[in-house]
Each structure stands twice: as C-alpha cells, then as structure tokens.
Chain A
Amino acid sequence: MRYQSQRVAYPYFVVALLLFGLQMAFGLLAAAKYLGPDPLLNVLPFDVVKAIHTNLLLVWLLTGFMGAAYYLVPEESRVELHSVRLAYVQLAIWTAMGVTAVVGYVFRWTAGNKLLEQPFPLKIVIVIVMLMFLYNLGMTIHAGGRLTTTEGVLVAGLACTALLYLPALFEFDNYTVSVFYRWWTVHLWVEGVWEMIQGSLLAFLLIRLSGVDREVLEKWLYVIVGLTFISGILGTAHHYYWIGVPRYWLPIGGFFSALEPFVFLAMAMYAYYAIRRSGFSHPNRMALHWTVGSAIFSALGAGLLGLAHTWPAVNKWTHGTLITPMHGHMAFFGAYVMIVLGMITYALPGLTGRSEDARETSANFWSFWLQITGMFGMTMAFAAAGITQTYLERILSLGYLETQLKLQVHFLMLVVAGIVFVIGVALFLWDFFFLAGRPVTVPARAEPTPARSPAV
C-alpha cells in the first residue's frame, strides 16, 4: 500500500464481509427449506429468503468491487484518491440502501423481478451511488494523469455495470420484452462487464504477486476481455431460447456461449503462466491461493458447467431445473467471490499496517480449503439433483412435486456441503475481524504520502 487514501477500502471490505456472512445465513435457510417441512412457511417463506440470498450476493460483491477499486486506482494512477469523504458518504448511502432492501423484502416490499427485486426508489439510489463512485474514480485518474490498462479495464467494467443497470429502471407491459431486457443487466453484468472487473483484478494481483512483466499481462488482459465480449454479448442469446423470441437466437446462443469457456480457460492459463514463471514466492501466499483459485474455479463453474447446459438441444430439457443453480453457485463463487476475497487478502496486511508476511494465515488457509470443499460439494449436490430432475420430471414427465420428493437425498447433501462452506466463510470473517488486527485510521482529508519508487 502506497497511498493513505487506499485505506478507505477497509470499511468497504468490512461491509462486504458482513453482508457475505448474512448471505450465508439465508443460503442455509433456503437449503433447509428444500428438505422441508418449513416451520417458517407463513413468516419467512422461501421466496423472501431466496431474494435476500441473491440480493445480498450482488450487494456485497459490488461493495467488494468498490473497495477493490478504491484500493487499486490510487496505486495504479500514483495519486491520492480524489475524495476520501465522498467515498465514505457513498459507502454510507450504499449500505443504507442494501439494508433497506433486505428489510423491505422481509416486509414484502419488492419489485419481484428476479435479481432486480430492488424497489424503484432504491434503484434510483443505486444509480446515484454508482455515479458518485465513478466520479470519484474519474477525478482520481484525472488528477494522477496516468491510466494503466489494468485500471482502465476495471473502471470501464464498473462504468458499464452502472450503464447496464439502466434497462432495469424501465417497465414493459409485455413480459417477454421485460425478460429480454432484464438479461441486458443480469447477463451482461455477470458474463460481460463483471468479467472485465474480474480480469483486471486478476491482472492487478498477478502483476503484484508474481512479478511477471506488466506489459505481457496487460496485453493478454485485452485478449481476454475481447474474447469475453465476443462470446458474452451474443451469448446473451442463451437466455433467450424459450421466452418468446425469434428462432435465430437458438443457434446464435448455442454457438457464442459455447465460446465462453475459452475466456475462462484463457484466464486460468493466464494465472498458471504467471505463477509458473515466479513460483509461490510472494509472502502473501493466501492471496495467491485465492487469485489462482478464482481463475481455476471460474473455468470450472462458469466455463465448463455453463457449457454443460448451454446448447439448445440440451437446454430444452434442462431449462428451469436445478441444473441452473449448479452452474450459478460455482460460477459466482469462482469468478467473483474468490477474486474479491483474493483482493481483500492481498490488501489486508497493508490496510492493517503490517508487512505482507507479518501475520499468521492458518485461519485464512482453512477458510480457503473449506470453502472450496463446501462449494464443490454443493455443486455436486445441485448437479445430482438437477440431472435426476431432468430425467424424472422432464423426460419421464413425473410430476414436479413427486420428483422433488425423490431428490431429498441430494438436498441433504446440499445442506451438509453448505454447512462446510459456511464454516469456511466464518473462518474468513474471524481472520479478518479478529486476527488481522485493527485498520490504520484514515484521515478524512488524506495527506499525500511521500512518493516511493513504484515496484512495477
């Protein structure tokens, strides 16, 4: 850490991790409801729990991205953040928005649109926060007069995230049209511009952790992001197959989304190449674990498991079954959860005023392996349940309810694997809040630190 104002990332990580913990509680509750019976049926039914589980994921990941960006941009542009105060105000409004949304869902205040359940006034708040955020980053880069490819891709990814949220503000009377544009936000986020964010954070971490030449890594970052958009933009079509759109979206979706694994394969190779060059020589070995883990797990979860059901002839049978959460859980975890945890693990020693290898990381180590194990188990449980559901419900035309009763054993495994995962998350939180030490306080108006020679 080279700039005082980078420390503003710390409270962002605090909020992100607290919401991550809360997301786990609702995840476990949702999994338990699959097992049934549900004593909370009339108090906290599945739909509320599920909406909170997914919304918390989106909110905490975005909080993590924001923290990561506030950490990364000053360092890349070699200047203090434009306004630390604005960053705090932004975090306060953002957190208030997130908490209001969650409490609102419990009291059934919802827009009821999958993943975009935020009621309209909260959507406006989200837009305002994004604008504050982008303004702060933009002014910082402007003041620094230096824009690296890594931060350029990151900021472009964040700006596109804000831009692509705009379709969510509109309402359409035609449900098909509304679903069509819902994917402009949801798909183009997670399989488009968020991959820019993941790619740039990956590049940043690999440059720092492996010491491989920046020019080489940034060149490949362009290639990865290019591949992302070739496959991702037209790959939106794989959400369009059966919703009332023209038939040509089927072959387009099949072809272009079949290219998506190459993006993730490229990222995995990218990380592997960088680490092979340098070995595990960086003192912050856990940051390396999360970084390489993100590249590999997203290749498996988003790449391979996405490919497993993206072809129209397959999707015709699996569409709307538990095959989707199989892919969704591992993809989100690999691509976004792990990269944010990697960024936090990397930044933490600096934020708490320690040298990079000055702290015990066994809690983080166990957190890593328990999360990997738990998520792998959950993915397998969803896969077994999803394949069985496809055969029984879709091919044999056994009723939905009878089929679900036959899936109980997989739901049991889901709960068990979920508990393992949650223990991993709890260890990460414990490490962050109790073992890593207190953060160095941030002055509201940051004094520029004396320039140090940049490492890379």
Chain B
Amino acid sequence: MTKRAARLFFFISTLVSALIFTVLTIDSHRQFPKLTNAAAIDERVIAGKHVWHRQNCTNCHTLLGEGAYYAPDLTKITTQRGAPYLREFLKDPSKFYSEARDGRLMPTLKMTDKEIEDVIAFLGWISRIDTQGWPPRPILVRGSAVPGVAAALGVPPGQAVSQDPIEQGRAAYNATPPGCAACHSVAPGVNIVGPSLAGISATATTRIKSPDYKGKAKDAAGYIRESIVEPNAHVLTGPTYAAGGRSLMPGDYGQTLKPEQIDQIVAYLLTLQ
C-alpha cells in the first residue's frame, strides 16, 4: 500500500462512517418521541431534570445505567417505591439507611418540597422510557429478589435505623418471626410460595374495586391489613397460594403480631408502588 492509498482509505472510511451515523441519527430523532414517551415531558419533568443536574445526582447514581457507581441505579425506582416514600426518603435519607448498617448513606440535600416533587416526576418519566428490555432483572436498592439470598451471603437484613414506621415495618417484614419475607419477595415478578408484593399498593387499590373482591377493605392500607390478619377474606388462586378455597398463609398473625407491628408492616408495604 502506498501512502496515497492509505490517505484515501482514511478519508473514504471516515466519510462513509460519518454519513451512515448521520442518517441513523436522523432516523433516531424520528423515533425518539415514541420511544421516550416524549409527550409526557411536561414542565415538572423538565424542572426535575434540572434538579437532577443541579444536585449532581449522576456523580453517585446511575440513570439508564449511566453515571457513577457509588449509589444504586434509579432508572426504575419509581416503579418500585411510591412517591410518598420517595418524598420521605429525600427529605432525610438517614431515616431509612445508615452508614453503620449499609456502608453508604446519601447526604441530606435540603431540597425544597417543589424540587422533590419535580425530581420524582422526572424519575417517573424516565421509568417509562423504552430501554430495550434493560435491566433484564430488577435492580434492587436493598434486600434480595429471592428471600434468604442476602442472609445466606452473610448480609442479614439488619435492625431498623430509626423509629420511622416505614423503616420499623421493613425490619419487621424481614425478621423471623414473622417471616413475611420467607414467602413473599418484594422484587417485581418474583413469585415464590406467596405472590410478589412488588407494587402491592397499586395492586390493592385496583383489586378492591374489582367485582370479584370479597373482603371489607376500603383502601390499599385496609386491604393489606386485612390480608395479614385475615388471609381468607380474599383468596388469590395460585398453585402454592391456596387450596380448596383457603389461603395457605398462616392465619394467626392477628394474634402473634402486636398491633403497632401490623401498622408498621402496612406502612412499609404501602411504599411498594
């Protein structure tokens, strides 16, 4: 090869590559509105994006898998935890996590209520972007999809780090007794002996409105409480969920758990959006 031929190779290959790249970029723009649900980008989402940047979130967290690797990925966080919980968390992360127990703690950012609402709206919009099936399995902040894995690896669920009812409830849910986590995963789509409780807050709200619903609950909190205390009030069908129209879940939690423990577990489960 002569130097001239090498130069020609350089110019032509660069030009062709750049041309293909440009065409694909134009086509991507054509598809962005649908893939990213762009119609849903309102003032609040845009304001939330500014909060995301202003607070430098991306230099600890990842979003769409991009950013830093010091804190959890937040792409799907709003499909895992409800806005009320995220609001409480952002006001004071130390109510739910501690460096001593978890190794990491997010600093309190002193955001205004509006900033918090905005960034939650932004993350909500992000969660609905078509990411071509990523992540293939839910990325959890804490816990494990299959109960027991964390404990087996030597990372037990740990004591509550504050008196906050949600945090107390999380600890109680994972403790044995009562052993809720032995049968119910909180990861989406992971049904073990009992059904996954991911999104139970939203599921309960729709379920009580269904004509098939036989129980007495009026809202999601009531439904969850009823399911704990009186598992047969409304029975789900599933090979390991029920037999002969009776739930296979122990029926004595109303007696073995203290009333405030039930309140706390309900408060925790309500955060699972």
Q: Is B211 an interface residue (CB 8 A)?
A: no
Q: Which of A37, A177, A319, A402 contacts B32 (CB 8 A)?
A: A177
When the two chains form their complex, are residues B32 and A174 in contact, meaning their CB atoms are under 8 A apart?
A: yes
Q: Is B54 an interface residue (CB 8 A)?
A: yes
Dominant secondary structure of chain A at its interface with chain B: helix
Complex Cα spacing A110 to B140, Å: 29
Q: Which of B54, B69, B125 contacts A110 (CB 8 A)?
A: B54
With A226-B9, A320-B66, A405-B155 already in contact, the answer to whether A244 and B35 are too (CB < 8 A) is: yes
Complex Cα spacing A138 to B9, Å: 25
Q: Is A257 an interface residue (CB 8 A)?
A: no
Q: Is B13 an interface residue (CB 8 A)?
A: yes
Residues in B whose Cβ lies below 8 Å from that of A149: 3, 7
When the two chains form their complex, are residues A405 and B49 in contact, meaning their CB atoms are under 8 A apart?
A: no
When the two chains form their complex, are residues B49 and A173 in contact, meaning their CB atoms are under 8 A apart?
A: yes
When the two chains form their complex, are residues B69 and A320 in contact, meaning their CB atoms are under 8 A apart?
A: yes
List residues 251-275 of chain A with CB under 8 A from any CB of chain B.
252
Q: Which of B1, B24, B187 contacts A252 (CB 8 A)?
A: B24
When the two chains form their complex, are residues B136 and A37 in contact, meaning their CB atoms are under 8 A apart?
A: no
When the two chains form their complex, are residues A400 and B56 in contact, meaning their CB atoms are under 8 A apart?
A: no
Shortest Cβ distance from B99 into A: residue: A37
List residues 185-221 of chain A with CB under 8 A from any CB of chain B.
215, 218-220
When the two chains form their complex, are residues B99 and A38 in contact, meaning their CB atoms are under 8 A apart?
A: yes
Q: Which of B1, B21, B66 contacts A179 (CB 8 A)?
A: B66
When the two chains form their complex, are residues A243 and B64 in contact, meaning their CB atoms are under 8 A apart?
A: yes
List residues 29-70 of chain B with CB under 8 A from any CB of chain A.
29, 31-32, 35-36, 38, 41, 45-46, 49, 52-60, 62-70
When the two chains form their complex, are residues A244 and B56 in contact, meaning their CB atoms are under 8 A apart?
A: no
When the two chains form their complex, are residues B14 and A46 in contact, meaning their CB atoms are under 8 A apart?
A: no
What is the distance, in angstroms, from A148's C-beta to the closest C-beta of chain B?
12
When the two chains form their complex, are residues A247 and B7 in contact, meaning their CB atoms are under 8 A apart?
A: no
When the two chains form their complex, are residues A399 and B140 in contact, meaning their CB atoms are under 8 A apart?
A: yes
Q: Is B259 an interface residue (CB 8 A)?
A: no
List residues 404-431 of chain A with CB under 8 A from any CB of chain B.
404-406, 408
When the two chains form their complex, are residues A226 and B14 in contact, meaning their CB atoms are under 8 A apart?
A: yes
Shortest Cβ distance from A37 into B: residue: B99
A243, A250, A405 pick with most chain B CB within 10 angstroms: A243
When the two chains form their complex, are residues B64 and A393 in contact, meaning their CB atoms are under 8 A apart?
A: no
Q: Which of A175, A219, A234, A400 contacts B140 (CB 8 A)?
A: A400
With A50-B59, A108-B56, A114-B58 already in contact, the answer to whether A400 and B65 are too (CB < 8 A) is: no
List residues 135-190 of chain A with CB under 8 A from any CB of chain B.
149, 173-177, 179-180
When the two chains form their complex, are residues A246 and B27 in contact, meaning their CB atoms are under 8 A apart?
A: yes
Interface size class of A (residues with CB under 8 A): 35 or more
When the two chains form their complex, are residues B144 and A110 in contact, meaning their CB atoms are under 8 A apart?
A: no
With A233-B18, A399-B144 already in contact, the answer to whether A244 and B64 are too (CB < 8 A) is: yes
Q: Is B260 an interface residue (CB 8 A)?
A: no
When the two chains form their complex, are residues B52 and A401 in contact, meaning their CB atoms are under 8 A apart?
A: no
Shortest Cβ distance from A40 into B: residue: B107
What is the distance, in angstroms, from A103's C-beta to the closest C-beta of chain B?
15
Q: Is A448 an interface residue (CB 8 A)?
A: no
Segment of B127-135, B228-236, B239-247, B250-258 engaged in the interface with chain A: B127-135
Residues in A whose Cβ lies below 8 Å from that of B9: 222-223, 226
Shortest Cβ distance from B157 into A: residue: A402
Shortest Cβ distance from B55 into A: residue: A112
Residues in B whose Cβ lies below 8 Å from that of A179: 64, 66
When the two chains form their complex, are residues B105 and A41 in contact, meaning their CB atoms are under 8 A apart?
A: yes
Segment of B145-153, B176-184, B201-209 engaged in the interface with chain A: B145-153
When the two chains form their complex, are residues A226 and B6 in contact, meaning their CB atoms are under 8 A apart?
A: yes
When the two chains form their complex, are residues B150 and A47 in contact, meaning their CB atoms are under 8 A apart?
A: no
When the two chains form their complex, are residues A244 and B32 in contact, meaning their CB atoms are under 8 A apart?
A: yes
Residues in A whose Cβ lies below 8 Å from that of B24: 248-249, 252
Residues in B whose Cβ lies below 8 Å from that of A247: 132
Q: Which of A51, A114, A248, A395 contacts B66 (CB 8 A)?
A: A114
Complex Cα spacing A317 to B139, Å: 11
What is the distance, in angstroms, from B161's C-beta to the closest C-beta of chain A?
12
Complex Cα spacing A33 to B107, Å: 13
Q: Is B88 an interface residue (CB 8 A)?
A: no
Complex Cα spacing A242 to B135, Å: 8
A48, A175, A180, A322 pick with most chain B CB within 10 angstroms: A175
A48, A229, A317 pick with most chain B CB within 10 angstroms: A229
Residues in B whose Cβ lies below 8 Å from that of A110: 53-54, 56
When the two chains form their complex, are residues A246 and B35 in contact, meaning their CB atoms are under 8 A apart?
A: yes
Complex Cα spacing A111 to B50, Å: 9
With A219-B1, A320-B66 already in contact, the answer to whether A246 and B28 are too (CB < 8 A) is: yes
Q: Is B216 an interface residue (CB 8 A)?
A: no
Residues in B whose Cβ lies below 8 Å from that of A242: 64-65, 131-132, 134-135
Q: Is A308 an interface residue (CB 8 A)?
A: no
What is the distance, in angstroms, from B250's C-beta to the closest C-beta of chain A?
26
Q: Is A321 an interface residue (CB 8 A)?
A: yes
24 contacting pairs across A/B (C-beta < 8 A): A46-B68, A108-B56, A112-B55, A174-B41, A175-B122, A176-B64, A177-B32, A227-B13, A229-B14, A233-B18, A233-B21, A241-B132, A242-B134, A243-B64, A244-B35, A245-B32, A245-B35, A324-B69, A394-B136, A397-B138, A397-B149, A397-B190, A402-B142, A402-B144
A residues with a Cβ closer than 8 A to B are: 33-34, 36-38, 41-42, 45-48, 50-51, 108, 110-114, 117, 149, 173-177, 179-180, 215, 218-220, 222-223, 225-227, 229-230, 232-234, 236, 239, 241-250, 252, 316-317, 319-322, 324-325, 392-402, 404-406, 408
Kindly list 13 other residue pairs between chains A and B, CB separation below 8 angstroms, not including A41-B107, A114-B58: A36-B103, A41-B99, A50-B68, A173-B45, A220-B6, A226-B10, A246-B35, A247-B132, A316-B133, A320-B65, A394-B136, A399-B143, A400-B139
